[in-house]
């Protein structure tokens, strides 16, 4: 149980890191996306001609076109998108492992509790040392009883052999 619990804790730590990385990559993606859209607006604004319709809104007037921005390329945007998607996959995989290990641990706890009179796993671990001591004492008593029976059997075997000799 402790080993499974330790593994689950390790997986929870990994999933926490994956979640933090996903948040970071999502923020970076949003910043790159915003910069990319701003640069696209600047590219479109350069092509505006007074009296000709805007390709975005159709207006013939262009009183405040977007400024030409130092742009973020589509490749930059795609890289940020890929990094965010990979972080999402890593996070989802970490969560799936946590759920699997958590399910195994829960089933083990249920099995242990079903075989005892304990109300929860802490209660079980509190009683476990006493159970082990009692089990060891019981095993020692049974070993002594078995040794005594063996000795008695040997004595009866000897007596039986002597009786057979007398006949």
| Phi, psi torsion values for 68, nearest 5 degrees | -65, 120
Give the per-residue pLDDT at 140.
87
Q: How far apart are CA 95 and CA 8, in angstroms?
A: 11
Q: Which two tokens stand for residue 149?
A: 């029976």
- b/e map 49-87, b = 16+ CB within 10 Å: eeeeebeeeeeeebeeebeebeebeeeebeebeebbeeb
The whole-angstrom separation of Cα 52 and Cα 62 is 9
What pLDDT score does 107 carry? 79
Distance CA(2)–CA(7), nearest Å, equals 9
- In whole numbers, what is the pLDDT of the chain averaged over residues? 86
pLDDT value, residue 91: 93
**Phi/psi at 25 (5° precision):** -65, -35
| Of 82, 72, 10, the residue nearest 35 (C-alpha) | 72
Region of 58 (left: φ > 0; alpha: ψ -120 to 50; beta: rest) is left
Q: What does the pLDDT read at residue 68?
A: 67
pLDDT at 115: 75
Q: What pLDDT is stored for residue 1 in this prediction?
A: 63
Specify the pLDDT at position 5. 77
User: Mind listing the pLDDT tens digit of every residue in the chain (167 residues)?
Assistant: 678 778 888 999 999 999 999 999 999 999 999 888 888 888 888 888 889 999 888 999 888 888 766 678 889 999 999 999 999 999 999 999 888 888 887 777 777 777 777 777 777 777 777 777 888 888 988 999 999 999 999 999 998 888 888 86
Handedness of CA 139, 145, 147, 149 (dihedral sign): negative
- Long-range CB contacts (< 8 A, 24+ apart) of 12-15? 12/98, 14/94, 14/97, 15/91, 15/94, 15/95, 15/97, 15/98
Instruction: Confirm whether pTM is higher than 0.75.
Output: no
């Amino acid at each position: 149980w402790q080993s499974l619990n330790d593994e689950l804790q390790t997986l929870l730590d990994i999933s926490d890191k994956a979640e933090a990385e996903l948040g970071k990559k999502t923020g970076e993606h949003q910043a790159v996306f915003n910069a990319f859209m701003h640069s696209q607006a600047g590219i479109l604004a350069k092509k505006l001609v007074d009296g000709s319709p805007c390709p975005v809104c159709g207006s013939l007037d262009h009183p405040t076109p977007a400024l030409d921005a130092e742009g973020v390329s589509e490749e930059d945007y795609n890289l940020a998108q890929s990094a965010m998607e990979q972080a999402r996959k890593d996070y989802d995989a970490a969560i799936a492992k946590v759920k699997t290990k958590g399910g195994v641990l829960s089933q083990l706890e249920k099995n242990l509790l079903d075989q005892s009179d304990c109300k929860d796993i802490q209660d079980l671990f509190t009683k476990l040392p006493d159970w082990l001591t009692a089990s060891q004492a019981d095993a020692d008593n049974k070993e002594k009883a078995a040794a005594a029976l063996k000795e008695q059997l040997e004595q009866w075997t000897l007596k039986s052999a002597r009786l057979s000799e007398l006949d």
